[in-house]
Structure 1
Amino acid sequence: MVSCLLALAFALYSVAPSAAAPRPRHSFVVKDSLAEIPHGWIQHSPAPEHYSIKLRIGLPQPNFRSLEAQLYEISNPNHHNYGKHLSKEQVDALVAPHKESTQLVDDWLESHGLSQDVLDKSSSGDWVTVTVPVSKAEEMLDCEYHAYKHPTDDDFIVRAQSYSVPDYLQGHIDVIQPTTMFGRPKAMRSTIINQGLGLDPLGVDCHTTATISCLQKLYNTEGYQPLKDSGSRLGIAGYLKEYASYSDLKQFYENWRPDAINGTFDFVSVNGGLNDQSTPGGEANLDVQYGGGISFPLLNSYYSTAGSPPVIPDSATPSNQSSEPYLEWLTFILNEANPPQVITTSYDDNERTVPKDYAIRVCNMFAQLGARGVSVLFSSGDGGVAGSQTPPSCESNDGKKAKQFIPTFPSSCPFVTSVGATYRIEPEIAAPFSSGGFSNYFSRPEYQNGHVDSYLDFLGDTYDGMYNKSGRGTPDVSAQGQNFQVIDSGKKYSTSGASASAPTFAAIVSLINDHLLRNGQAVLGFLNPWLYSIGADGLNDILGGSNPGCGTMGFSATQGWDPVTGLGTPDFKKLIDLLSDSEGDDDQ
């Protein structure tokens, strides 16, 4: 009798529901799933049910292709729209989701007791953020969260190896994180090579040491006098409790740029980021000292974004400390009416530790910045072809354990400019730690085609199967990255890494923007289409060196673009001369 009643109940439930009937709670579709726990992480324990998770829900951007098309027009020096950057309002309109998506996601959240007043939405509405207990997140996403431990430095994160969404939301949600993202961007402590106590300013040899004056001579900015009030501004992104020191900057200027002794930087807090002068960070000091030292007296802003991998989660630590700082920072900067025209970031991660759907959405946010006239530069990483994390692993994480080179992210995003590293002078050669290669997530952008094809012809069948020949190639450009003299906590240090190359190149772009603004022209904005066409003639081609890793010699630098040093290092005066012919009056 009981079985009959159950059968009857099932039959009644299976009849097509009326418009007012609730959707079945069990009707889920898997949104993302990992074949295995990413390299280096160990499952530690179930996440406590009261531990808080800040869920970021990305809604589809149906008009993104239109934004992308306009980005390439305004970044192409041969197009009549070159330099006609979009406003914040125009960009917001191009990435806004359909109203149906917004309504369905709002209704879904409300069905879980999450009303509008607890939701935080981006200005375009394409991101919805809400903080919930793990138990609620597991219910909403039909998943299980665990704490995972990384033994190299005892980092803990709370993640799921898969998650799902209700089937009726499948086309209305692109991504939800933190779920399957195991990335952990690192700063100087792990990815920059610290080489001990630094040198005395007297008697420095520019063949082996990088200082402000050495870089000015090498990259041809010596004697150029930027105008403080030209409007050119450099933004420096900082994460993971890295704080820039005012006193260290003053001491640095005393040693290496005395005319800038009264120079400083603006501090900007993101998501409650601190400005702790008692615990300065080596990465933050490096970025501020060289970004400011090369671009002085232009305005520099240091963005301190709160968040770090959490300590072991338990009932005593209920708050989620975000280890996804890029999205936190991007949400903030895209909401600014007038962001800096150049932004440098010296943090990176192995591409494969970042879920592809999440990487695409973050990459699209860099495109939004580019459309507004912002040049975004990232260091390429410090592990050669083995990526950027320690301990390195050159095995694929799809369960097959195939040997492969490891690209880095966000460097692999086609809407940012990736900066590799060189060392020595006369000639400069590729630094062996300079990460570079080919993305497994992003296809090669059109602006790279001829340059990358030439390199692949040079490479032949070497390393076949270890990299993606059709992927976006990195880096795009390069700059010195070895033996940089830095002041940290009042002491002199010598340090190396592509993390030094990125602020160096970015500062030179700020000088170029200064020149353009003073002559009534638009700033450069998204650099790559210009660099791979007209701008390439203003770069110093690097012909020697390689980036070994994964038991190989890695890729070799050679004539033209290569996946070690990109198109080369900057010659400021050549680039300025080239820009006089790049106003663009042909409709391509």
Structure 2
Amino acid sequence: MPFLIQSLVFFTFSLVATATVSPHIVHEKRDVAPSGWAPVRRAEANIMLPLRIGLAQPNLESLDDYLLEVSHPESLNYGKNWSPAKVAETFRPSAASIYTVLEWLEDEGLAASRVKLSQGGSWVHANVTVAEAEILLGTEYHVYQHSESGIEHLACVDKYHLPEHVAEHIDLVMPTLHFDVHMNRKRSVDKSIGQPGAGIVNPKLIGEIEVVLTNLTGCNKQITPDCLRALYDFDYTPVATDKNSIGIVEYTPVAYLPADMDMFFGNYSPSQVGQRPALVSIDGGYEQTSFQGFSINGEANLDLQYAMALVGATQNVTLYQVGDLVEGASFNNFLDALDASYCTYEGGDNSSFDGIYPDSEYKSDDCGTAPLTNIISTSYGYTESLLGSAYIQRQCYEYGKLGLMGVTFIFASGDNGVAGNGECLDANGAESYSGTRYNPGFPATCPYVTSVGATQISPGNTVNDPEVACDTNIYSGGGFSNVFGLPEWQADAVHGFLDNYPPAYAADVYNSSGISRAFPDIAVNGLNYSVVSNGRTQLVAGTSAAAPVAAAILSGVNDARLAVGKSPIGFINPTIYSSNFTGAWNDITSGNNPGCGTDGFSAQPGWDPVTGLGTPNFPKLRDLWLSMP
């Protein structure tokens, strides 16, 4: 949007005097750089930075109340989800915030041609040099280098400042303190969480399957769609497929292979041979085949093979393929495409976190262009520590706003127990393999998503025996957030665990305050999945598997509700933690999620930070949700 917006703001504030000069205060800080990163030199003063300023959004303090109004089972307005227009209007930054930030930049000498307000009105973009940014923010920019990869990354040192009268109108400024960089085949920096090995959620390849088992007696060795149906009593034929929808998110270069889909369906669901997900391309996303291998195809094959097989041939599955091979993509790029009010195209994405479009090979401004599905499953994640609190808080609020629109967000909780990405936190809060403090993952800790951990069938047991927390090849991610507070709807469950089964660790090991968001929320089997990848049938493990299966089962609940004229289940957390739903979960009481030199937490009766509330009992879930408005 042109800087001419200022004329409207000046009119609105014609009676307001120029803001008094105020002292600079620390706005955001990081005590230490992430693991492996160290400053190697000062950044050159004339390097151009696409400075993005996230404006404070009003009414976020009421977001929980708004969500409870449409999501709590006892609310008279349950299921009466908000329209995108109402969400945009409620959380649009105020004219006062826009005015204050634009005035500040103008007073600092930035010409109008260098400053823009984003399409959604939530971000201000200013092209500045490093020297200008250092003056604006009272900081120093350095080039950081990763000790193992040699990749270089530009960031400010320790902290940055804002004028006190401006700070209250700004959530965060980027690029400043945030790190998220990985190797790329075409460039030195890859902005995509789809890069193999990135993040806290990666399917683990266990081995080859020589003989495909198709009966239930082999489920302790090979998980198939029929095993999952038996475990969770998911015997359901959709009847409202024209109204229902389910989405799976993949980040380029990760992509599925059509031949693998047909081989899988040939083994387990012959009627679906030839069936494909409905592609929704976001920022150049496409079903790429230039790069192949389990690290590229394993995740997408796993997600789509099981989601599609479980919902059946008559239910369409949407594939959100995000990012091209040049820029990659991030969670923010995906959220941009879902909600126009959040859009940061030319106004908010961090060039180190988020693919900035258009690029040389692809031109797009995907802003609120992607259709919303009722349920969206994502098997990707980072750690809270890596991304920084300001970045993840702003993004978490967006999941909450989309929850107001009736979307259920499912995220895998992580595959390394309490150790996040395999590293823990040291005394300074930095990620380290020698750290001893638990390292929670994100978005799993965001209170506005539903986090899914992993269980398994014990060796020698059957689908009729109780499952245990997954402790083979992967450990179910779980614990307590270091950023997000304890939601009202989770308080009784968390306090019950801490009071009845207090972990034997000191406060310097995990956030033992009892007032922080805990995860996961639920769990699903995550071990020994039979997956076809690159023409071979292989055994795979991970919460990567649990997330799309949970989404498919909940999609069946949506179908049942939509068939009788009711709304989709939307933001489910207040409902699933309510006393009415206690019997709808198969309680997991054995196993733990070790890491950081400890045994982690233990699965116990009721909710626990290993398997959450437990695994789903589909008939009970369906009937309980059908009994609601």
TM bucket normalised to smaller: 0.7 to 0.9
1:467 aligns with 2:510: yes
Following superposition, the deviation at residue 156 of structure 1 comes to: 4.6
Identify the match of residue 400 of structure 2 among 353, 361, 367: 367
In structure 2, the CA distance between the partners of 1:237 and 1:136, relative to structure 1 (3 Å rule), is: farther
Identify the match of residue 269 of structure 2 among 257, 279, 290: 257
Identify the match of residue 169 of structure 1 among 166, 170, 178: 166
1:440 aligns with 2:482: yes
In structure 2, the CA distance between the partners of 1:443 and 1:240, relative to structure 1 (3 Å rule), is: same
Following superposition, the deviation at residue 560 of structure 1 comes to: 0.5
1:294 aligns with 2:294: no
Give the equivalent residue in structure 2 for 1:97.
93
Give the equivalent residue in structure 1 for 2:250.
238
Q: How many residues align?
A: 548
Following superposition, the deviation at residue 37 of structure 1 comes to: 1.4
Give per-residue Cα distances to partners, 1:335-356, cap 9 Å, x unaligned: 3474111111111112122221
Identify the match of residue 457 of structure 1 among 483, 499, 508: 499
Give the equivalent residue in structure 2 for 1:478.
523
In structure 2, the CA distance between the partners of 1:132 and 1:286, relative to structure 1 (3 Å rule), is: farther
In structure 2, the CA distance between the partners of 1:46 and 1:559, relative to structure 1 (3 Å rule), is: same
Give per-residue Cα distances to partners, 1:205-248, cap 9 Å, x unaligned: 112222112112212123x2114733211122222521233332
SS, match of residue 42 in structure 1: strand
In structure 2, the CA distance between the partners of 1:45 and 1:198, relative to structure 1 (3 Å rule), is: farther
Identify the match of residue 278 of structure 2 among 257, 266, 274: 266
Following superposition, the deviation at residue 27 of structure 1 comes to: 5.8
Following superposition, the deviation at residue 151 of structure 1 comes to: 4.4
Could you tell me which runs of 5 or more consecutive residues in structure 1 were left unpaired when the two chains were aligned: 1-18, 311-320, 584-588
Greater mean alpha carbon deviation, residues 572-581 or residues 473-482: 572-581
With the length of structure 2 as denominator, give the TM-score of the two structures.
Answer: 0.80
1:414 aligns with 2:453: no
C-alpha distance in structure 2 between counterparts of 1:509 and 1:49, whole Å: 53
Residues 218-229 of structure 1 correspond to what in structure 2 (within 5 A)? 218-222=231-235, 224-227=236-239, 229=241
In structure 2, the CA distance between the partners of 1:286 and 1:35, relative to structure 1 (3 Å rule), is: same
C-alpha distance in structure 2 between counterparts of 1:494 and 1:49, whole Å: 52
Note if contact 1:67-1:91 (Cα within 8 Å) is conserved in structure 2: no
Following superposition, the deviation at residue 254 of structure 1 comes to: 1.7
Greater mean alpha carbon deviation, residues 93-102 or residues 457-466: 457-466
Following superposition, the deviation at residue 473 of structure 1 comes to: 0.8
Q: Which amino acid aligns with 1:215?
A: L
Identify the match of residue 355 of structure 1 among 383, 388, 393: 388
In structure 2, the CA distance between the partners of 1:164 and 1:42, relative to structure 1 (3 Å rule), is: same
Note if contact 2:523-2:614 (Cα within 8 Å) is conserved in structure 1: yes
Note if contact 2:453-2:523 (Cα within 8 Å) is conserved in structure 1: yes
Give the equivalent residue in structure 1 for 2:230.
217
In structure 2, the CA distance between the partners of 1:158 and 1:488, relative to structure 1 (3 Å rule), is: farther
Note if contact 1:477-1:568 (Cα within 8 Å) is conserved in structure 2: yes
1:189 aligns with 2:197: yes
Greater mean alpha carbon deviation, residues 84-93 or residues 27-36: 27-36
In structure 2, the CA distance between the partners of 1:512 and 1:344, relative to structure 1 (3 Å rule), is: same
- Percent identity over the alignment is 35
Identify the match of residue 83 of structure 1 among 58, 79, 102: 79
SS, match of residue 391 in structure 2: helix
Following superposition, the deviation at residue 556 of structure 1 comes to: 0.7
Following superposition, the deviation at residue 137 of structure 1 comes to: 4.1
Following superposition, the deviation at residue 188 of structure 1 comes to: 5.9
Could you tell me which runs of 5 or more consecutive residues in structure 2 were left unpaired when the two chains were aligned: 1-15, 182-192, 341-367, 458-462
Following superposition, the deviation at residue 283 of structure 1 comes to: 1.6
Following superposition, the deviation at residue 519 of structure 1 comes to: 1.1
C-alpha distance in structure 1 between counterparts of 2:67 and 2:552, whole Å: 23
Identify the match of residue 430 of structure 1 among 463, 469, 481: 469
Give the equivalent residue in structure 1 for 2:353.
none
Following superposition, the deviation at residue 203 of structure 1 comes to: 5.1
Give per-residue Cα distances to partners, 1:87-145, cap 9 Å, x unaligned: 0001011111110111233344556646479736253x223455656555445434333
Note if contact 1:417-1:476 (Cα within 8 Å) is conserved in structure 2: yes
